[in-house]
Amino acid sequence: MDLELRHLKVVWAIAEAGSLTRAATGLGLAQPALSAQLKRLERSLGGELFIRGPHGVRPTPLGELVLDRARVLVPAVTELQEEARRFSRESAARTGLPRFRLGGTHGPLLGGLVDRLATAHPQAPVTTYTSWSLVELAGLLVEGRIDYALGGVCGESQPPCQGRLVWREVATDPVFLMLREDHPLVDREEIPLGDMARENWVDVPGDGCFAECFAAACARVGFTPDSVYETDTAASIHLVQVGRAVGLCRATFPPTPGLVTRAIAGAPLLWRHVLGWYPGSPAAEAGAATLAQARAAHQDAVALSPSFTRWRRVHQRELGEP
């Protein structure tokens, strides 16, 4: 993992707050997610950056070295970002043409949004950047390197950089099971999580609290997952197709040969799709219109998923739909 500006900001925030809990609150992250980020960074740099104690954290000598650099680099780059944003605003005003630099986590909504924006604005440039990390995408918004971030958060969790970025909800969906088409339980439309207690699991990585929420949902029905593989979408599909694992996926996961998706009874896990932008950027003026396109892309994805369409039909009263 290469050291990036967002990593320096995290180290600085932890040092300033004096504890992971307070730093997580200031960054708009769940504390376990921040701890996981710090551990990955420490592994990359070859040693601990902070000593944990009963009264908080304090930097190690390696941590002090990183902080010394962060105190110089972060303000300098922040000033450069502000100048770049001013330049972008002035350039956009001169040309009068919109642009859409989209950042997104992997999934059908990003492709759908690209298609809709390119259709609605055929003369406007549309570019994409994908990442597993919504924290990274939020940092790119603040730095002015992308215009919009399309991602998701688990349950009632909040997206990162609250107070600095505008976040709007696109939709909230249940998390579904991804099963091999000959799995013994595929005849059920909704499967109790407890009935899957003996399975191995696979899902895609992320920096939010989904792993903890999944573990808690399993604990509530009386089991601990034996193993959870965390890997990319293609590898997840393969592991399910060969019967090595059961997948956890968004309800909008598109039809795939050899696989079916099924709801978890009671919808114990929810996924909130969100769209974010920086309030002082040129993109803010088109934020509401872009959000409408993202919501339309979500409806397109729902229509392509037979199992999700059936689930919504059964639960439309709970969803407040006519």
Count of residues making up the chain: 322
pLDDT of amino acid 112: 94
Structure tokens belonging to residue 10? 């995290």
Write down the H helix ranges in the chain. Answer: 5-17, 20-27, 31-45, 61-95, 108-120, 134-143, 210-220, 233-241, 287-303, 306-314
Question: Do 180 and 196 share a domain, yes or no?
Answer: yes
Residue 231 neighbours by CB under 8 Å, 6+ apart: 202, 204, 205, 239
Q: What are the pLDDT digits (tens) for 228-268?
A: 999 888 999 999 999 999 999 999 998 899 999 999 999 99
**197 bridge partner residues:** none
- pLDDT, mean of each 10-residue run, the chain (322 residues): 78 87 78 81 87 86 89 82 67 64 88 94 91 89 91 88 90 96 95 96 86 92 92 93 95 92 96 93 90 96 94 78 54
Any domain includes 85? no
Question: Do 147 and 160 share a domain, yes or no?
Answer: yes
Model confidence, pTM: 0.74
State the first-to-last Cα distance of the chain, in angstroms, to the nearest integer. Answer: 49
Question: Do 248 and 185 share a domain, yes or no?
Answer: yes
Question: Do 141 and 54 share a domain, yes or no?
Answer: no
Any domain includes 322? no
Structure tokens belonging to residue 11? 């180290």
The type of residue at 309 is T
Q: Which of 74, 80, 33 is nearest to 209 (CA)?
A: 33
Q: What is the residue range of 155's domain?
A: 97-170+271-314
pLDDT of amino acid 94: 56
| Phi-psi sector, 112: left (phi>0), alpha (psi -120 to 50), beta | alpha
Question: Do 117 and 238 share a domain, yes or no?
Answer: no
Strands 190-191 and 259-264: parallel
pLDDT of amino acid 101: 93
Q: What is the 3-state secondary structure (H, E, C) of 188-241?
A: CCEECHHHHCCCCEEECCCCCCHHHHHHHHHHHCCCCCCCEEECCHHHHHHHHH
Structure tokens belonging to residue 1? 């993992």
Question: Do 249 and 190 share a domain, yes or no?
Answer: yes
Question: Do 184 and 260 share a domain, yes or no?
Answer: yes
CATH of the domain at 206: 3.40.190.10
Any domain includes 91? no
pLDDT of amino acid 321: 57
**Biggest CA pair distance of the chain:** 62
The type of residue at 105 is T
**100 bridge partner residues:** 126
Q: Which of 34, 289, 7 is nearest to 148 (CA)?
A: 289
CATH of the domain at 59: 1.10.10.10
Strands 201-203 and 246-250: parallel
The tally of domains found in the chain comes to 3
286, 287, 292, 305 from 191: Cα distances, Å: 41, 38, 33, 17
Structure tokens belonging to residue 293? 């396109």
